[in-house]
Chain A
């Protein structure tokens, strides 16, 4: 008997053939990452949770259209991106960034009780991310928190790699100006 780790591609193939158990296992592997990605985008926990459920439901319904199981991650995040922006369009057809920024400053996404990083730093990071434009923030989230390559980001955001780099580098300059001194001091 040979034991080997069940890979995502195996689960995707089984789920595409109708195995709900396999799909649930796949969801359990990805739900936290997708939820956090949507949380950074929406900055609202309930919205992020609702969107995460919608994303996995839509992914299940369209799983048979995924030709290459190895491309599951960018494909899933593409769905998540579309769902988030669909919500933005429904709620804030004109200017989404200012209103949400105000809400986020009040609520604040933080990691309370962290002994490694002081709470001031996490608040500063949240505030610095809030000051970025939605495109720049999404680029930072996809690169720094989700670890995607430039090409995968371009696939998720449906834009050229050069645009991805431009957004990310601009955001990085802003974050560097705000965060590097704080960390250096602390």
Chain B
């Protein structure tokens, strides 16, 4: 068991940070057992290096054959689909483009029209130089004309509705008369043939 402040083997493998290495080195100078342990590790590694690397018996080389090489387009496509980051970036670009296009082609909001003061403004704008009385006369005439027009339209609509209702009432009367006539005719038929009611299909006679 080592009494070193840090693992001697990590020191030996150079896995310790510099301050820790310094502490271990200071300890090893004063500790006989740790020094011997470190020597054994070094001897072991030296022995391991007796087994040296061998040369590779046959060099490896690849030959470029255009027949088997994927086309640049296919390579680019493959690289694109195999990369999550690129796919994500492309999605973000498409989304941004869509947002920009939507923002540029969005229809303008409908203008707000102030209806009430329009006639006066129109009259005043159309005929500058008129007195207020003349303007008022013109407004009155326009209002009267509009009211007459509206009343005429309403009267015409009323007449139309009245005519439609009369037509419907006539059709209902005709249908009612026809129904009465058919009922009487069916009753007369049953009386002349002596049959009370026609038998249904499958019913016992």
Residues of A within 8 A of B79 (CB): 64
A-facing residues in B52-66 (Cβ within 8 Å):
52-64
User: By the criterion CB–CB under 8 Å, are B62 and A182 in contact?
Assistant: no
Cα separation A184 to B54 with both chains bound (whole Å): 25
User: By the criterion CB–CB under 8 Å, are B69 and A18 in contact?
Assistant: yes
Q: CB < 8 Å: which of B50, B55, B56, B75 contacts A114?
A: B50
User: By the criterion CB–CB under 8 Å, are B60 and A56 in contact?
Assistant: yes
User: By the criterion CB–CB under 8 Å, are B57 and A180 in contact?
Assistant: no
- A75 in the interface (beta carbon within 8 A): no
B-facing residues in A115-168 (Cβ within 8 Å):
117-118, 121-122, 124-126, 129, 140, 143-145, 149-150
User: By the criterion CB–CB under 8 Å, are B44 and A179 in contact?
Assistant: yes
Q: Tell me the dominant secondary structure on chain A's binding face.
A: helix
- A47 in the interface (beta carbon within 8 A): no
Residues of B within 8 A of A122 (CB): 50-52
- A114-B50, A114-B52, A122-B51 known; A20-B64 Cβ under 8 A: yes
User: By the criterion CB–CB under 8 Å, are B44 and A20 in contact?
Assistant: no
- A39 in the interface (beta carbon within 8 A): yes
Cα separation A150 to B16 with both chains bound (whole Å): 11
Cα separation A14 to B75 with both chains bound (whole Å): 14
- A45 in the interface (beta carbon within 8 A): yes
The total of interchain contacts (Cβ-Cβ below 8 angstroms) comes to 103
Residues of B within 8 A of A27 (CB): 60-62
Residues of B within 8 A of A57 (CB): 62
User: By the criterion CB–CB under 8 Å, are A143 and B13 in contact?
Assistant: yes
User: By the criterion CB–CB under 8 Å, are B60 and A172 in contact?
Assistant: no
User: By the criterion CB–CB under 8 Å, are B9 and A172 in contact?
Assistant: yes
Q: CB < 8 Å: which of A39, A65, A140, A172 contacts B54?
A: A39
User: By the criterion CB–CB under 8 Å, are B62 and A60 in contact?
Assistant: yes
A-facing residues in B158-182 (Cβ within 8 Å):
none
- A28 in the interface (beta carbon within 8 A): yes
Cα separation A73 to B183 with both chains bound (whole Å): 105
Cα separation A114 to B72 with both chains bound (whole Å): 50
Q: CB < 8 Å: which of A36, A49, A183 contacts B47?
A: A183
B-facing residues in A3-38 (Cβ within 8 Å):
18, 20-21, 23-24, 27-28, 31-33, 35-36
Cα separation A107 to B55 with both chains bound (whole Å): 17
Question: What interface size band does chain A fall in?
Answer: 35 or more
- A100 in the interface (beta carbon within 8 A): no
- B135 in the interface (beta carbon within 8 A): no
Closest to B37 in A: A176
Cα separation A176 to B13 with both chains bound (whole Å): 15
Q: CB < 8 Å: which of A28, A118, A169 contacts B59?
A: A28
A-facing residues in B5-22 (Cβ within 8 Å):
9, 13, 15
Residues of B within 8 A of A126 (CB): 51
- A76 in the interface (beta carbon within 8 A): no
- A87 in the interface (beta carbon within 8 A): no
Residues of A within 8 A of B54 (CB): 35-36, 39, 45, 109, 111
User: By the criterion CB–CB under 8 Å, are B48 and A125 in contact?
Assistant: yes
Cβ of B120 to closest chain A Cβ, rounded Å: 75
A35-B56, A179-B47 provided; 5 other pairs, C-beta below 8 A?
Answer: A24-B62, A114-B50, A121-B47, A124-B50, A143-B13
- B residues at A contact (CB < 8 Å): 9, 13, 15, 40-41, 43-64, 69, 72, 75, 78-79, 82
A-B contact pairs, 7 of them (CB 8 A): A18-B75, A28-B59, A33-B53, A49-B58, A129-B51, A140-B48, A180-B44
